[in-house]
Amino acid sequence: MPHFQIKYTGGLRTEAIHVPSQSKLITDAPLDNMGKGETFSPTDLLAVALATCMITTMSIKARKEGFDIEGTTAEVKKIMASDPRRVSQVVIRIDFPPLNFTGEQKKFLEHTAYHCPVAVSIHPDLLQNVSFVYH
């Protein structure tokens, strides 16, 4: 059984189904590439996948080490390049709540983020510009 099913629904829009849960995700082509830009574009999902993978992986590893990062947020910006059209940079700002992390925990979290499965799967030419903000 497939993990995902994708259907092109016309108008430069797709519908993706996560088969095990039947959750749906809609994508549109972006405004700057003939689309409506009414929801996430495929390249938006790449940027979002990177940030959510970082946070998810940090939370898993933190839990195993006996601490939590609940309340952590991220802001994500995707920068496109042309010839060929591609994502050239993802800018991520990760904000941690005031949880008094030790220096060792901060180093651990940052290392974990940079080594999450998405981060190590994307092409090395894609610049991952990540800042970590501890309150």
Give residue-wise pLDDT tens across range 64-78: 999 999 999 999 999
Whether 56 and 83 map to the same domain: the answer is yes
Give residue-wise pLDDT tens across range 72-129: 999 999 999 999 999 999 999 999 999 999 999 999 999 999 999 999 999 999 999 9
Whether 76 and 47 map to the same domain: the answer is yes
Whether 9 and 75 map to the same domain: the answer is no
DSSP classification of residue 30: -
Whether 54 and 29 map to the same domain: the answer is no
**Number of structural domains found in the chain:** 2
Whether 27 and 85 map to the same domain: the answer is no
CATH of the domain at 95: 3.30.300.20
